[in-house]
Amino acid sequence: MEHCVDHRLPEILLDTHHRLRRAGTVASETPIVAADLYWSIGALAQCLAAMDEVISQLGTNARKQLRTGKFDVESGPFEGEPDAALLTAILALARASSSCEPVQTAIGNAQIAVSDLVATRHIRA
């Protein structure tokens, strides 16, 4: 790759992992609070958005390398065929990126459901 962009994705994922473990521990002893669930879903949405950005950036960098001819494959199934290797990688990244969209929709729907549940409880109370 031409340059690396510093992404906070690993930090966000680690923080999310710790918070979800704590939430799971608390949930086993007391009912989970809707705000905690909403935050957890939001953290997943942030991680997914960051992951999609990284996938997109990898695809962009691969296309640049393909155009400039700065990529060489010295071993493996694409040995000596950098164009085929990069095109295969770009297609795989495009598939991965397109797979993020339905998950993003589901996460958004989950956040709406939690908000609606909280609003319904407050209206009935």
Note the Cα 55 to chain centre separation in Å: 9
* Per-residue pLDDT at 28: 64
pLDDT at 108 > cutoff 60: yes
* Per-residue pLDDT at 96: 83
pLDDT tens-digit map of 35-82? 777 888 888 888 888 888 888 888 888 778 777 877 777 788 888 887
Structure tokens at 98: 């397109």
Query: In whole angstroms, what is the distance from residue 2 CA to residue 97 CA?
Result: 21
- In this prediction, residue 4 has a pLDDT band, given cuts at 50, 70 and 90, of very low
Query: In whole angstroms, what is the distance from residue 91 CA to residue 78 CA?
Result: 15
Give the global pTM.
0.57
pLDDT at 1 > cutoff 50: no
pLDDT at 89 > cutoff 80: yes
More confident residue, 122 or 50: 50
Report residue 51: phi and psi, to 5°.
-65, -40
pLDDT at 20 > cutoff 60: yes
